[in-house]
Structure 1
Amino acid sequence: MASIQEPKFPLRLLVDKEKNRVVVAESKSDLVDILFSFLTLPLGTIIRLVSNNQHDHIHEINDQPQDTFGCIHNLYKSVENFSDGVFWNNICKTMLLRPRNPCEALCKKLKLNLDDSESTKYFMCGRCNRGSDWFLSTFVGASCCYCGKLMDKEMKLHGDFGEEGLGDGVFVKKGSLYLIFDDLKVLQNSPGNSVQQLLQLGYKNLNKFKQISLNVGLKEILDLLKQSLISNSPLTDIFLANKECKKMHRFSPKQGPKVEKWTNIKLKLMVRKSKKKILYAEAEGDFVDFLLSFLTTPIGSILEQLDGDFSLRSMENLHKSVKEFNPSWLIKPLLGNPLPNPKVASQFGCKKQPLINIYEEKTPSYWYGKGVVKNHICYSNVNGVISKKKSGVKNPEAMKLFDPRSAYGRTESALGFVKRPSLFVVWDDLQVTPLANSSSISFLHKMNVSLDDLEEHVVSIGETEALNLLGASLVSSKEALTEGLFHLLLRPKEEDSD
């Protein structure tokens, strides 16, 4: 059997010969579609893809040790190391390690879909017949809320046309070339755009340039994904192996007004006075769920919330390019463009979310029937069918959706990913340790810190504090809690005593 050949994408580079730097590249729409799809990827997916790419290739960019962006990878690693008993069920752990892409149907049309997660499937219990109470799960391994048996009867969703191609590209129009600058700014290809941008970069003629033509594959695109988060020059880093990649700017927390109490989450901080840093936070389920929800949130949505306040390098330029793109160059169904602010996939969000502008997709309604309806004609099906449209099935009955974020699997009782009550230690670098059945005396002994060097503080995490934590997790390599929250401890005490 012949193996499926990995697609390659032509790319023409304009290189500054003296500085050995890529100035601009020309590309067809297929590669630009893939670059724009970066914005739909949840953070957990990005961490997994980048990590796997590094493990698969011994040679690293610039022959340097593996680089990471911020310390969000410690959060991902903590989830990997959690026992299943930390969560309501084993599905929650999988949701965090392999979060669902909210633009899954669109990304399946890409010539190369970076997200290798399984497509959404639908399951019912093959044993129960509850009359009007039909339960449906979009997760493999869910247990029936009635009989407790595995929901293993896979159903085809009637009227699901997600895999049909649009025929004219995915995000941008086919048949044109696009300009991709070294910092991942993307523009429509035109002589005017080229001249204007080259003049802004200080070039008055083309004498300093040489052209390089190459083909780009999966390895290079995954390298671009990684470098887009840590570098201002990902094209140069990848294709010219330039060793002058600059380090990330230091994090500076955003200041803002206090928010209404209903959005707040209380957090106990333990400060090491001699170092003037937060050693760890003692947190309950709501705060840990909030942190874990970073992994299920698309990077485009995160950039929209951070609004340029924290440096995420070239990924910010890609995000800005999408926002400023001429709508006439986008695919017609995307004129209501989801890329700048993609929602969190349904059932993958934080139930108590202090980031009030991060939204979870509305959970669809599902209907069960004994046949399908096409052109007002009913066709029977002994196994039954499901549809998102009530009019799509014969004798429709509303279905109840299984939600993993619940002790009982019911949407109305969903709380979050981790069990309640629960207690965790969140370290400064975002490693998370469950404290179930752990001795506090042994814990203090292992820290090897003088007790009189410790000081306890209680803070409220509202929207501004949540944004600072999110930003710090992405740009601070070791001290996310300190860089995101320590400034709160410098406030006059009466501010937090309300």
Structure 2
Amino acid sequence: MAEINSKGISLKALVDKGNNRIIFAESNADFVDVLFSLLTMPMGTVIRLTRNQPPTGEIGCMNNLYQSVENLEVQCLHTEACKTILLHPRNDAETHCRSLKLIIDDGEPIKYFVCSSYNFSACKFLSHYRTALCRCGRLMSTEALLEVKESKNLIPDGGVFAKEQAQFIVSEKLDVLPLSTAACLSSFSKLGVMDGSTIVERTFNVGVDEVLNLLKCSLLSPAALTETLLKSKQFPQLGKESFDQGMSIQSQGEREASNSDRKICVKLILSKSKKILCYAEAGEDFVNLIFSFLTVPLGHVVKKMNGSSSKGCINHLFKSILDLDTEKSLKSDKHKELLINPKLASGFGYANQLLDIKEASNQPNFFMPEVYFVDSLFIKEKYSSGSASLTVMDPRFHYYKEAKSGGGFVKGPAVFTITDSLVVAPLSSISIISILDRLKVPFSDIEEKVVHVGNEEALRLLVASFVSESALTNAFNLRVPKQE
């Protein structure tokens, strides 16, 4: 069973010593809650937390997208906060994840900042970002401690997503099943374990580093629990061949009429002789789309894969939640919904977004009888308004300007180069020459092809960026020459 100690969660597992693999681990709600929470993490958080974790290897093209945002000059973005949004995206289930026995995301909890003028009669805004500008033009740099009556949340005492008294087994592929004799015997049978002579019980201490290792293994290995607990070094590498060209994506269902016919024009630069994509040339609307992948929860990406091939086993974890009996294993239908249909955090969507993902409902205006201003660690002043209604502002545009960004991240009009592996940079002659030189493609050998990206293409691109290192080639079904 999983038990809590000062250093993490103590996890008992049955090991097939002959084949050096985990048969399954026994767990209560504590460890299973941590596993389930991984699906609520935005992809930007997944990359930030795992890119320096073993095993070596990148998660499709997501690492390149993340690094592209890091390298992009702030002048290319609407506001400085846009970079923070993408590199440190908020989790809609943050309140739940803060209640886990192991806090995996080391990011700061939500904070609120107000205009340095403290003038609530004119400036009735709150910001999650210290770098935002108020509509009066002042920096919203003063932290506010807000005294509000919190609404009843979804986290009753004991457990977070799973019922406190529920018991589970977790396979090496991250299948999570209610503990039963039938489930145990089925696990033995699947691995060809005929009796107990090759089985040994071991206890493992699982801390934050182990969970992050497990998260990355779940995206790169079909046996994540074995790889993590037994320190196996055999990790497959994601590459072009890992993407299912016949990918079946989950139906988008009904779409808003305003988005159904919208298309983004993208120019592909191809090598005529090599039949390969050199790079794409596109405006800020396409870059907004692919940058927004970093704000999408991992669970949404897995859901949209709809069985597409991947080297990892994170899809097993997702399917387990789908199959679990809510009444017996999970806290409520609302908790299950958080895991199998995770949403963008409130305020992270933008106008004309092509991805089929819902945004959490906007936070209501805050009615604050008392607001405490914080300077460093000291409360310096209390504001008692009696009637102040404060609104959380969108940090992606400046309220003191008339023109708004429309909710995107990148300032336009602008043109960018995007490589097949989603390295994004402002268009320049140097970047073009560098890409063509690296691919050994002469200027005389290139041709242009225009494609249009709508809802279906955006979804294919999202999945391709997660499972392949050649996202554009796979998303647009370009021909790839056969390897000799």
TM-score (norm 2): 0.85
Q: Distance in 1 between matches of 2:388 and 2:479?
A: 54
Q: Alpha carbons of 1:164 and 1:278: their partners in 2 closer, same or farther (altered >3 Å)?
A: closer
Matched, 1:135 2:116: no
Q: Distance in 2 between matches of 1:314 and 1:432?
A: 29
Partner of residue 148, structure 1: 138
Q: Distance in 2 between matches of 1:110 and 1:331?
A: 14
Q: Distance in 2 between matches of 1:409 and 1:146?
A: 6
1:469 to 456, 461, 465: 461
Q: Deviations over 1:348-377 (max 9, x none)?
A: 23433222x2111121121334459xxxxx
Q: Distance in 2 between matches of 1:224 and 1:174?
A: 23
Pairwise CA distance, 1:326: 1.4
Partner of residue 49, structure 1: 49
Counterpart AA for 1:466 = A
Q: Alpha carbons of 1:369 and 1:412: their partners in 2 closer, same or farther (altered >3 Å)?
A: farther
- Whether contact under 8 Å (1:271, 1:454) holds in the other structure is yes
Which is further off, 206-215 or 126-135? Answer: 126-135
**Correspondences of 1:60-71 after superposition (within 5 Å):** 60=54, 66-71=56-61
**Correspondences of 1:233-312 after superposition (within 5 Å):** 233-248=223-238, 250-253=242-245, 254=247, 262-311=261-310
Q: Alpha carbons of 1:221 and 1:370: their partners in 2 closer, same or farther (altered >3 Å)?
A: closer
Q: Distance in 1 between matches of 2:282 and 2:91?
A: 28
2:472 to 477, 481, 484: 481
Q: Distance in 1 between matches of 2:342 and 2:260?
A: 27
Matched, 1:212 2:211: no
Structure 1 SS opposite 2:451:
strand
Counterpart AA for 1:265 = I
Partner of residue 363, structure 1: 362
Counterpart AA for 2:360 = E
Structure 2 SS opposite 1:458:
strand
Q: Distance in 2 between matches of 1:101 and 1:118?
A: 11
- Whether contact under 8 Å (1:134, 1:368) holds in the other structure is no
Q: Mind listing any 5+ residue stretches in structure 2 that lack a counterpart?
A: 372-380
Partner of residue 172, structure 1: 162
- Whether contact under 8 Å (1:312, 1:474) holds in the other structure is no
Structure 2 SS opposite 1:467:
helix
Counterpart AA for 2:174 = L
Q: Alpha carbons of 1:143 and 1:24: their partners in 2 closer, same or farther (altered >3 Å)?
A: same
**Correspondences of 1:70-469 after superposition (within 5 Å):** 70-127=60-117, 129=119, 131=121, 134-160=124-150, 166-248=156-238, 250-253=242-245, 254=247, 262-311=261-310, 313-328=312-327, 329-332=329-332, 334-335=334-335, 337-355=337-355, 357-370=356-369, 383-384=383-384, 394-395=386-387, 397=389, 399-408=390-399, 414-435=406-427, 438=428, 440=429, 442-446=430-434, 447-448=436-437, 449-469=441-461
- Whether contact under 8 Å (1:42, 1:296) holds in the other structure is yes
Q: Distance in 2 between matches of 1:32 and 1:336?
A: 13
Q: Distance in 1 between matches of 2:414 and 2:399?
A: 17
Q: Distance in 1 between matches of 2:382 and 2:14?
A: 62
Q: Alpha carbons of 1:489 and 1:365: their partners in 2 closer, same or farther (altered >3 Å)?
A: farther
Structure 2 SS opposite 1:263:
coil
Computed over aligned residues only, the root mean square deviation of the Cα atoms, in angstroms, reads: 3.0
Q: Distance in 2 between matches of 1:159 and 1:312?
A: 46
Q: Alpha carbons of 1:445 and 1:333: their partners in 2 closer, same or farther (altered >3 Å)?
A: closer
- Whether contact under 8 Å (2:43, 2:298) holds in the other structure is yes
Q: Alpha carbons of 1:488 and 1:422: their partners in 2 closer, same or farther (altered >3 Å)?
A: farther
TM-score (norm 1): 0.83
- Whether contact under 8 Å (1:122, 1:139) holds in the other structure is yes
- Whether contact under 8 Å (2:24, 2:169) holds in the other structure is yes
Q: Distance in 1 between matches of 2:407 and 2:307?
A: 31
Pairwise CA distance, 1:227: 0.1
Q: Deviations over 1:272-293 (max 9, x none)?
A: 1222121111111111011011
Pairwise CA distance, 1:236: 1.5
Counterpart AA for 2:460 = N
- Whether contact under 8 Å (2:137, 2:400) holds in the other structure is no
Pairwise CA distance, 1:156: 1.0
Q: Mind listing any 5+ residue stretches in structure 1 that lack a counterpart?
A: 55-59, 373-380, 386-393, 491-498
Q: Distance in 2 between matches of 1:309 and 1:334?
A: 27
Partner of residue 37, structure 1: 37
Pairwise CA distance, 1:204: 3.5
Counterpart AA for 2:132 = A
Which is further off, 80-89 or 258-267? Answer: 258-267
- Whether contact under 8 Å (2:222, 2:311) holds in the other structure is no
Pairwise CA distance, 1:171: 0.9
